[in-house]
Amino acid sequence: MLPQGTSVLSPSIPLTLVVLPALMIAQKSPQNLFTEHASVYIMAFGMVAAKVTNKLVIAHMTKAEMEYLDWSLLGPSLLFLNQYFNCIVPEIWLLWFTLIWGTQDLLRYCAQVCLEICQHLRIDLFRIPYTPKGATPHPATASVSSQSNFGSSADKNGGSAHRKSKSKPH
C-alpha cells in the first residue's frame, strides 16, 4: 500500500510495474509482438497504464492509501510468465486477453468511481428529475433545484429577467 506521508517518488512504483514489463515483453518477444501488432500492444498496455494512473489520481485527491498491485496487471503478468516458460500459449492470444481485460477493468473502475461520487453528492447519474407542472417536487430534488438557476432566464448583467405575458398589442 501507498502509506500517507510518503515520498514524491512513491507513485513511480505502480507506474514502473506497468512500463518495465511492457518494455521487457516487447524486447524479448519471439513473435515480435510490438513490431507485428503495435496498435494492439500499445492499446493493451495503455489501458493498464490508464487504470493505474486513475487510481493514483483518486488516491492522491482523496488522501487514501493505494495498493501497488492491481487486477489490471494480470494481463502483463501472464504475458511475462508465458515468455518465461517459453511461450506455452500463443502470445497474440494473451495480448488480446490483456487488451480486453484491461479495457473492462478500466471501464468498471471508472463506473464505480463515478457512482460513488454521485452517491456521495446525492445526485442522479444520467437522469434529469421531472416534476409535472403544478406538482410539488420531490424533497431530494427540491433542494438541488432551489440552489440552481436552470429554470430562470437571465439578462445581460446576470440578473433575473421576468417573463412577459403574451398579450395582444393595443
Find the mean pLDDT for residues 86-96: 93
Q: How far, in Å, CA of 145 to CA of 143, rounded?
A: 6
Quickly state the pLDDT bin for 126 (edges 50, 70, 90). confident
The pLDDT assigned to 14 comes to: 83
pLDDT tops 80 at residue 119: yes
The pLDDT assigned to 102 comes to: 96
The pLDDT assigned to 137 comes to: 63
The partner residues of 160 in beta bridges, in order of sequence, read 154
Backbone dihedral region for residue 142 (phi beyond 0: left; psi -120 to 50: alpha; all else: beta):
alpha
The pLDDT assigned to 97 comes to: 96
The pLDDT assigned to 8 comes to: 67
Q: pLDDT tens digits for 28-82?
A: 999 888 999 999 999 999 999 999 999 999 988 888 888 878 899 999 999 999 9
The pTM for the full model equals: 0.68
pLDDT tops 50 at residue 166: no
- What lies within 8 Å, CB to CB, of 141 at 6+ separation is 129, 131
- CA–CA distances in Å: residue 38 to residues 17, 52, 151: 20, 21, 51
More confident of the two residues 34 and 167: 34
Angle at 73 between CA 41 and CA 67, to 5 degrees: 145
pLDDT tops 80 at residue 111: yes
